[in-house]
Amino acid sequence: MLLKQDINQVTAFAPATSANLGVGFDIMGLALDAVGDKVTLTKRTDGQIVIEKINSITGLPLEANKNTASYAVTKMCEDLNIQCGFSMQIDKGIAMGSGMGGSAASAVAAVVALNGFLSTPVSKEKLVEYALYGEEIASGGKHADNVAPCIFGGITLIRSTNPMEVINLPYPELYCVIVHPHLQVETKSARGILSPSVEMKQFVHQSAELAATICALYTKDIELLRRSMQDLIIEPQRAKLVTGYYDVKSAALDAGAITATLSGSGPSILAFATNKKQANIVRDAMMKAFAEHNVESDTWISPINPNGAYII
């Protein structure tokens, strides 16, 4: 693969994301327009992938085969026969274990930055495939529900990962309320507690809710979205990982949220509102509910980011 000869350094930004959206475990997600990660790649001449600096409030591995960003770049270089090597700086804007796609964002920013060096850039679908190598070492599986919206923007549905097929779904104007309690839930642990089997009755009911949610997004039917975006399978298993989860969810719904659910594997909680004023009311109610359980929290109010990751 030929590299642009006049470029020595590229920085890319990748936004935070919210995966699953309740009904779409491992297949749906959205990009947020609030915080994100940056990765800067600089060409080397020795063929090595080296992390030179990580700006993060939490410790992250510097070894190239253990960090999501460097591992994704390594796999992309191997596949495309890029041999020069790169130095890397990672600037973390997303707290690890927050349920906001922190591991995915680092991997995505890294492969998007590398794509900026290529004379013929690869497709977004290929970028998802490369970033998934990084996501795999972080979470134990190649689930694209964070990576895909991070790259494509908007709300995405992953129909298939082999071959990769990502569908951008339409959506009404929505404001996302993200409340991140000062708790930490590791994705690997949160996946480890899930039952490997689902009752047929639950499967049928959840399939109906997923189908209705997609219909609601296409028709921009807020009331149908309110009725259908219900997680009947994953949420009951993971709620215990987040102190006060059901109280916070109830507070959001009582304050007028369209829906409220775990953001990814948590502990962050995602709620939807139809306007910014309502979003502020929902946020305050959720923070108050967490505070009643002696849990501090950070919050963001964000429209859905239609663009995804980009080169700075």
* Chain CA centroid to CA 210, Å: 19
* Chain CA centroid to CA 82, Å: 28
Helix (H, G, I), strand (E, B) or coil at 165: strand
The answer, yes or no, to whether residue 290 has pLDDT greater than 80, is yes
Distance (Å, rounded) from C-alpha 118 to C-alpha 121? 5
The answer, yes or no, to whether residue 137 has pLDDT greater than 90, is no
* Cβ within 8 Å of residue 235, ≥6 positions away: 22, 261, 262
Catalytic (active-site) positions? 135, 187
59 confidence band (pLDDT: 50, 70, 90): low
21 confidence band (pLDDT: 50, 70, 90): very high
pLDDT of the residue at 48: 95
What domains does the chain contain, in order, with CATH numbers? 9-168+307-311 (3.30.230.10), 175-303 (3.30.70.890)
pTM of the predicted model as reported, rounded to 2 decimal places: 0.94
* Cβ within 8 Å of residue 201, ≥6 positions away: none
pLDDT of the residue at 180: 94
- Strands 86-91, 49-55: pairing kind: parallel
**Exposed, middle or buried by CB within 10 Å (0-12, 13-18, 19+), for 163?**
exposed
Amino acid present at 105: A
Neighbouring C-beta atoms of residue 226, cutoff 10 Å: 15
